[in-house]
A and B are shown apart, each in its own frame.
Chain A
Amino acid sequence: MDRGWYFRFGLVLVALVGSWFVMWPTLHHNDWVSAPDWVLENVDHRITPGLDIQGGLRLMYTVDMEAAVEDRQRARAQQLLRRLGEKLDIVEEGEAPDEEQLSQIRARVNAQIGSADSRLIRLTFEDADDMAQLDRDLVTSFGDLREDSRGADNVSLVLQEESIDDLREVAVNQAQETIKNRIAELGISEANVRARDIDIIVEVPGADETQFDRIREIIGQTARLEFKIVDDGNTWLTEMQAQLPEGVTLLSEGVSAGESRPAVTSYYLFAEGSGDCPEGVEADAADGQCTAKTRLRGFVQSVEGQVPEGRSLALGRASTDEELQPDEEPDAWRTYLLYEQPPNGSDPVGGEHLEDARVGNDPQSGQPLVLFSMKPDGARLMQEMTGNNVKRRMAVVLDDEVASAPTIQSRIGASGQITLGGFRDYNSLLNEANDLVIVLRAGALPAPIIPQNEQLIGPTLGRDSVIRGAEGALIGICLVLLFMGIYYQVAGVVADVMVVLNLVFMLSIMAFFNNDLTLPGIAGIALTVGMAVDANVLITERMREELRMGKSARAAVDQGFRRAFWSIFDSQLTTFIAGVVLFQYGSPEIQGFAKTLMIGIITSLFTGVFCSKVMFDWLVRGLRIQRLRVG
C-alpha cells in the first residue's frame, strides 16, 4: 500500500466520522442512538421532517401590489394638493389645511389617479396660470415622481418605475413582519414565515383544523394602528405589588409627563426570559415554560378589571442587558399604562389618519430617525392631540402592542419625526427606525394580502405515508443490494457498501444544512440510489471487459475506473444541470426534490468514483487478490 492510498483512506474515514457527528443529533431525537450532551450542545445540525410528513399548515399569501400602488398614487395626489395649496397661498407652510381650505384648493386644482398599471396622477387646473406653480422642483421633491406630459389645463405625473420596486420590497417586508407578529401573538414558536418574490409563505407544523381557522383568521385581519398618550406618573401599579407573580417585577423610570411635570417617576411591570406559566396557560417556550410575554400578559389579563377607569395596560418590548446575536430579539417585555382616549378632550388618532412613514436622517447628528406625514384630516387631529399633550409620551400601538413610546417635543401637524433614544451605534438605530416604519406603514397603508394557497395536512396522513414510504424505500434498496451482490459478486459487495455509504453521506449533508425531509425529497433519494448503483455498474462492466481481455486484476481496476469515469461524470453532470434548473424555477415541493437530487449526485460521485476505488485498491494491492471475482 502506498502512502497515497493511506491518505485517501484517511479522507474517507474523516468524512465518515464527520457524518456521524452531524447525524448524531438527528438519530438522538428519533430515539435511535442517544447522544451525549456535549454533542447535542455543540452540533447544531438536524434533519427535520417536512410539513407533508409531520403534518401541519401551510399558507401562501401574495401581496396585492395593485392596491399598494394605488395607495401610493392616492397619497402622492393628496400631498401634491397640499403643497399646491401652500404655493397658492391658501394654506400656511407646514400647517394642516382644514375642511374649508381643502375645498378652496379643490376649487382650483383637481387630482385624479389612473390605474395601478399606468401609475398616473393627473392634476387638472381651473386656471391655466396656476399650472406654473407645479414646477420641476415641486415634482422632484417627492423623489419618486416625474412629469409625463403637460396639456392645456392639466399635468400628468407618473410614479417612477424604480419606486415601484422599492414599494414592493417595503410591502412584502411589512406583510411578512405583520404576519410574524400575529403568529407570535398566538404563541406558536415553531412557525416559519418567509417571503419569496411577492409571496409570503407561512408554515406551521403540527397545526390541526381548529388552529387552522384561527391562524387564517388572525393573519387575514388588517393591522390596527393607534396613537395613545401614556399615563406616566400614575401610581396605581404600586398597589399591585403584593399580587405580582414570581418573575414579574415592578420597575420605575424617570420621564417627563407634561410641560408642568418635567420629571416624574413612572412605574411599569417587567418580565424577562422564560419562567413558570400562569394558571391555565399552555407552555410556549422551548423549555416547556412560558415566554416573558405570555407570563406578563397572563398577569395583565388577570388584573384587567382593576385598571383605573379610562386606562388600559398594554405590552411592549423592553430592552435588556443581555448580549444578543445580530438577528435575535430579546425576550423581555414591559407594560405601559395608556389613556384609552387622549386626555384633554381631543379625538383619537389612528393608522387611517397617517399618510406615510419613512426612515430619514437627523440633519444635525446624522443619526437615523423616523419621518411621518399625516393625511389632511389626520393632521388636524394630530395637532390637537399633540398640542394638548406636549412633553408627554405618545405610544405607537400596533394590534394592541406598543411599538415605541417617544416623547412629544412640540405640536405635530402635517408631518413629524420620531427620534430614537439611547446612545447606540448607527446600525442598531437604523434597524429600530426600519422596524418602526414598518409598524407605522402597517397601520397606515396595510399592504393587502390575498390568500393564494392553503394546505392542511393531517398528522396521521403524513405519518402513514412516511412509514409506508420508508418501508418501500427499504425493501427496494435491499432488493437492489441483494441482486447486485449475486450478480457482480465481489464487485457487487463493493457496490453495496458504496450505496450504503452514499445514503449516509447524503443524509448527513442534508442534516448539515438543516434540511427538511419531504416526500418529494424521499423520491429524490430513491433516484440517487439508482444513480449510485449505475456508477458502480458502469465501473464493474468496464472491469469485466478488461479482465476478459486478459488483463491482471490490478490493471483491470485501474482501467475500469479510468474509462468509466467520464461516462459517470458526464451523465451525472447533465442530471445535476437538471437539478439546478429545478431548484431555480420550481415550487417549494420541486425544490425539495431538486435539493436531494443535487446532494445525491455529489455524494454518489464521491462514493462511486473515490471511495470504491479506495476499496478496490485495498483488494488488489493490499490483499493482493490475483483473480478478481466480478461475476
Chain B
Amino acid sequence: MEFFKPGLLIDFMRHRRVYMAISFTLVAASIAAIFYPGPNYGTDFLGGTEIQVAFGGAVSSNELRTTLTELGYEGADVVAVVEQENAYIIRTREFSAISEEQKDQIRANIETALGGVDGASVRRVRIPEGGDKVRIELTGDVDEAVLSQAIADAGVQVIRVARFGTASAHTYEAQLAGVATELLEGLRDRLGDRGPDTPDRIERVGPRAGAQLRDAAIKSLLYAIAFIMVYVAFRFDLRFAPGGVIAMAHDALITVGIYVLLQKEFNLTIIAALLTIVGYSINDTIVVYDRIRENLGRYRDKSLYDVINISTSQMLSRTIMTSGTTLLSVSAFFIWGTSVIRDISFALFIGILIGTYSSIYVAAPLTEWMDRRFFSKAKARARRARSKQRKKA
C-alpha cells in the first residue's frame, strides 16, 4: 500500500512566501493573545486553593457562585466537571485561611480578651505566612478556651489551642483550619443535604510556589531550546540551527496562542504538553534536515531550493505516516481519556499538526533564506545551476 507514487516531486518551496506570511501572522496573533486576553492561569501558577467535589443534590454553578460570594470568597471560579453530574471544581485565590484584616482582628481580640485576666498580657503574637497557625506569647497563664474564642471571634475556624513549651514560657499555639475545610464546611452549612461530599481533590498552592513553578517551567523551556540549538549547530551546520529553533518556537507559541484564545486553563499539564511539542517539533525538523544534508552531497549541481523540494518530497510518505500514527494515538487519548489526559492530548494534537507543518514550511524555507542571505558560497552554487539550465535550454 502506498499513498504517494515514488518519484513524486512537489514544489513545496514555491509558495513559501505565502506560508511564511501565514505563520508570521499566526505567531504575531499568538503573541498578541498572550498579552490580551492573556492566559487563563490555573491554580498551579497563581497560587490559591482548588477543590474538586461532588454535591449531594442538584446545584447550579450560578447558585454555587452566589453562595461562595456570600461566604466571603469573592471572585471564586466554579467549573462544572464534564464527566460527573453535580460535580464542580471550585477555585479561589485564597491560600491562607486568614486575611490581613483578620490578622489585625485576632491581635486586637486577644488583647481585649486578656483585659479580664490578671497577670497575663501579650508579649508577642506571631502569625506565619502560611496562615495555618497563630503563636501567642504571654506574660502569664490563661485558659486555652479564652484564646480559642478570641480567634474564633475574628471569623477564623480554630482546630484547637494548645499550651506550648515549659510552664514558664507562657506560650500557646493555635492550629487553624485550612481554606478548603472552611470553604467546604461553609457550603455544607448553607446547602444542607445538597452540600458537598468528600472532595475528590484538594490542591493548595502558595503564591511563592506558584511563582517558582512558573520560573522553573520557563527556565526549562529556554534551556531546552538553547541546548538543542547548540547540538544542531554542531551536528549539522550553523545555518540549519536558527531555522530549527524558530520552527520549534513557532510551534510552541501557536499552541499557546490557541490555548489562550480558547481560554483553556493554563497549568502544569500544559507545560508538560508544550515541552513534548518542542521535542516532537525538533525531532521532525531534524529528520527533514538530515535528508536535506544527505541530498546536498548527492545533488551537487542543484540549488538548495531544489534540494529542499526533492528531500521533502522523498520524506513525504514518512512524514505523513509518523504524524498520522502519532495523531491517531493522541486522538484515542482525547476521546477516551479523562480531564488531565484530555488536556494533554488536545495540546499534543495541535502541536503535532503544527510541528509537522513547520518542518516543511518554516524550518526548510528559513534555512534556504539564511543560506541565500548569509552564505555567499551557496549563491555561487545557485548561479552555476542556473547557467547550466540556460545552457540546456
Interface residues of A (CB under 8 A from B): 52, 60, 62, 64, 208-209, 212-213, 216-217, 220-222, 224, 226, 347-353, 448, 450-458, 460-461, 464-465, 468-469, 471-473, 475-477, 479-480, 483-484, 486-487, 489, 519-520, 522-523, 526-527, 529-531, 533-534, 537-538, 541, 544-545, 548, 563, 566-567, 570-575, 577-582, 584-587, 589-590, 593, 597, 631
Beyond A526-B329, A571-B283, A577-B227, list 7 extra A-B contacts (CB 8 Å): A60-B209, A456-B199, A472-B341, A473-B333, A519-B340, A571-B290, A589-B268
Q: A480-B325, A530-B326 are in contact. Are A578 and B282 (CB under 8 A)?
A: yes
Selected from A456, A475, A544, A593, the residue in CB contact (under 8 A) with B201 is A456
CB-CB < 8 A to B133: which residues of A? Answer: 220-221
**Is B291 an interface residue when CB atoms closer than 8 A count as contact?**
yes
Say whether A574 contacts B283, CB under 8 Å: yes
Say whether A570 contacts B235, CB under 8 Å: yes
* Bound form: Cα–Cα A629–B284 in Å: 26
Minimal Cβ-Cβ distance residue in B for A454: B204
Q: Can you report 21 A-B residue pairs in the complex whose CB atoms are below 8 A from each other?
A: A209-B202, A221-B133, A221-B175, A222-B135, A224-B165, A348-B168, A450-B129, A454-B204, A465-B337, A473-B329, A479-B328, A483-B324, A526-B329, A527-B279, A530-B280, A530-B329, A570-B235, A575-B282, A577-B224, A578-B228, A590-B220
CB-CB < 8 A to A541: which residues of B? Answer: 315, 317-318, 321
- Within the complex, the shortest CB–CB distance from B296 to chain A, in Å, comes to 14
CB-CB < 8 A to A479: which residues of B? Answer: 328-329, 332
**Is B380 an interface residue when CB atoms closer than 8 A count as contact?**
no
* Bound form: Cα–Cα A254–B283 in Å: 73
Minimal Cβ-Cβ distance residue in B for A585: B220
A-B pairs, top 4 by smallest CB distance, nearest first, are A476-B332, A476-B329, A350-B166, A472-B336
Selected from B199, B282, B333, the residue in CB contact (under 8 A) with A209 is B199
CB-CB < 8 A to B224: which residues of A? Answer: 577-578, 581-582
Q: Which of B2, B52, B331, B341 is the most central at the interface, judged by chain A CB atoms within 10 Å of its CB?
A: B341
Say whether A538 contacts B287, CB under 8 Å: yes
Mark interface residues in B217-228 (1 if CB within 8 Å of A CB, else 0).
101100110011
Say whether A587 contacts B206, CB under 8 Å: no
Q: A464-B338, A477-B329, A567-B286 are in contact. Are A597 and B279 (CB under 8 A)?
A: yes
* Bound form: Cα–Cα A580–B230 in Å: 15
Segment touching A, from B23-31, B103-111, B147-155, B269-277: B269-277
* Bound form: Cα–Cα A527–B22 in Å: 28
* Bound form: Cα–Cα A349–B216 in Å: 45
CB-CB < 8 A to A220: which residues of B? Answer: 132-133, 175
**Is B254 an interface residue when CB atoms closer than 8 A count as contact?**
no
- Within the complex, the shortest CB–CB distance from B244 to chain A, in Å, comes to 9
* Bound form: Cα–Cα A225–B350 in Å: 58
Say whether A593 contacts B333, CB under 8 Å: no
- Within the complex, the shortest CB–CB distance from B186 to chain A, in Å, comes to 15
**Is B164 an interface residue when CB atoms closer than 8 A count as contact?**
yes
Interface size on B, residues (CB 8 A): 92
- Within the complex, the shortest CB–CB distance from B139 to chain A, in Å, comes to 14
* Bound form: Cα–Cα A195–B186 in Å: 35
CB-CB < 8 A to A484: which residues of B? Answer: 325
**Is B178 an interface residue when CB atoms closer than 8 A count as contact?**
yes
CB-CB < 8 A to A526: which residues of B? Answer: 329-330, 333
Q: A221-B173, A571-B283, A575-B279 are in contact. Are A352 and B165 (CB under 8 A)?
A: yes
Say whether A217 contacts B175, CB under 8 Å: yes
Say whether B231 contacts A451, CB under 8 Å: no
**Is B314 an interface residue when CB atoms closer than 8 A count as contact?**
yes
Selected from A64, A464, A534, A587, the residue in CB contact (under 8 A) with B213 is A587
CB-CB < 8 A to B339: which residues of A? Answer: 465
**Is B112 an interface residue when CB atoms closer than 8 A count as contact?**
no
Tally inter-chain residue pairs, CB-CB below 8 A: 272
Minimal Cβ-Cβ distance residue in B for A566: B290
CB-CB < 8 A to A563: which residues of B? Answer: 294
* Bound form: Cα–Cα A527–B188 in Å: 43
Say whether A461 contacts B200, CB under 8 Å: yes
- Within the complex, the shortest CB–CB distance from B179 to chain A, in Å, comes to 10
* Bound form: Cα–Cα A526–B342 in Å: 13
Say whether B340 contacts A577, CB under 8 Å: no
Q: A213-B178, A220-B132, A460-B200 are in contact. Are A586 and B206 (CB under 8 A)?
A: no
B window 324-368: CB within 8 A of A: 324-326, 328-341, 344-345, 348
CB-CB < 8 A to B223: which residues of A? Answer: 581, 584-585
Say whether B128 contacts A64, CB under 8 Å: yes
Q: Which of A486, A529, A541 is the most central at the interface, judged by chain B CB atoms within 10 Å of its CB?
A: A541
**Is B6 an interface residue when CB atoms closer than 8 A count as contact?**
yes
Mark interface residues in B181-207 (1 if CB within 8 Å of A CB, else 0).
100000000000000001111111110
Q: A454-B178, A577-B224 are in contact. Are A529 and B329 (CB under 8 A)?
A: yes
CB-CB < 8 A to A519: which residues of B? Answer: 340-341
* Bound form: Cα–Cα A519–B235 in Å: 34
* Bound form: Cα–Cα A189–B375 in Å: 65
Say whether B198 contacts A582, CB under 8 Å: no
Say whether A450 contacts B206, CB under 8 Å: yes
CB-CB < 8 A to B178: which residues of A? Answer: 213, 216, 454
CB-CB < 8 A to B269: which residues of A? Answer: 520, 589
CB-CB < 8 A to B231: which residues of A? Answer: 573-574, 577
Say whether B220 contacts A533, CB under 8 Å: no
CB-CB < 8 A to A574: which residues of B? Answer: 228, 231-232, 279, 282-283, 286
Say whether A587 contacts B268, CB under 8 Å: yes
- Within the complex, the shortest CB–CB distance from B3 to chain A, in Å, comes to 8
Selected from A458, A537, A566, the residue in CB contact (under 8 A) with B200 is A458
Mark interface residues in B294-326 (1 if CB within 8 Å of A CB, else 0).
100000000000000000001101100110111
Minimal Cβ-Cβ distance residue in B for A472: B336
Q: A217-B175, A458-B200 are in contact. Are A472 and B286 (CB under 8 A)?
A: no
Say whether B321 contacts A487, CB under 8 Å: yes
- Within the complex, the shortest CB–CB distance from A528 to chain B, in Å, comes to 10
Selected from B167, B325, B331, B344, the residue in CB contact (under 8 A) with A530 is B325
* Bound form: Cα–Cα A9–B314 in Å: 33
- Within the complex, the shortest CB–CB distance from B321 to chain A, in Å, comes to 5
**Is B169 an interface residue when CB atoms closer than 8 A count as contact?**
yes
